[in-house]
Homo-oligomer: A and B are copies of this chain.
Amino acid sequence: MADRIQRRADALSKELIVAAAIEILDAGGERALTFRALAARLATGSGAIYWHVADKNDLLAAATDEVIGRVMAGAISGAEPREAIRAIALGVFDAIDAHPWVGAQLHREPWRSAMLQICESIGGRLQALGVPERGLFDAASALVNYILGVASQNAANARLVPLETDRSDFLATVAARWAQLDPAEYPFVRQVAAQLREHDDREQFLAGIDLIMAGIATLR
């Protein structure tokens, strides 16, 4: 048995598995996370992982909860409600920017705790802001859905673009493609192509939040 693969000495745990999964996902994207790769990194057999984790869905959900949980834990500041909502939104945005696979996961298991946490933080602040009872559910839903939309868009971009690509190079490429569209069919898209090249995703995201907040303010 001299050529046996080195196995780990300490015990496995769900936390260890999730941490390793996050590392693999961050480094190589969703495609890189396989039970074989995970087992190799953890120096164990692939079957061992199933003792701690129900299946791949469970693993992805746990990894997502871990990332979003960290964001939410950091956002408990007692700031003014409007600022708190912006901070929560930005926190989610930045987390998905750093871990694009989270964006793809957030809408797969929509009622897992990650989702609920975002919903709760935002809903609570809207309440504190004095949004009338009748509009509260719709307002929270609009904000959460908007955040989700941006999240999935970002996740899609990250998946489309090779990891090494420069962001502004990428935007320039897309902008150039937009600018070449048929003027009769796509006048608007052609027109904003130039703005696309120079725009800042993060700022545009916040602008959308502000737009929705402005709409919510008209409810009173």
Contacts and interface: CB of A to CB of B under 8 A. Distances in A.
Given A207-B138, A218-B214, A189 B119 contact: yes
Contacts of A192: 123, 136-137, 140
Contacts of A174: 111
Contacts of A146: 142, 145-146, 149, 208, 212
Contact of A156 (B108, B123, B199): B108
18 contacts: A107-B149, A107-B153, A109-B156, A110-B153, A110-B156, A110-B157, A111-B160, A116-B178, A116-B186, A119-B188, A120-B186, A145-B153, A146-B149, A148-B148, A149-B151, A152-B152, A211-B219, A214-B218
A120 to B, nearest CB: 5
Contacts of A141: 204, 207-208
Which range holds the interface residue count of chain A?
A: 35 or more
A180 interface: no
A115 to B, nearest CB: 9
A188 B160 CA distance: 37
Interface string A129-147: 0000000111111101111
Interface in A147-174: 147-153, 155-157, 159-160, 174
Contacts of A214: 214-215, 218
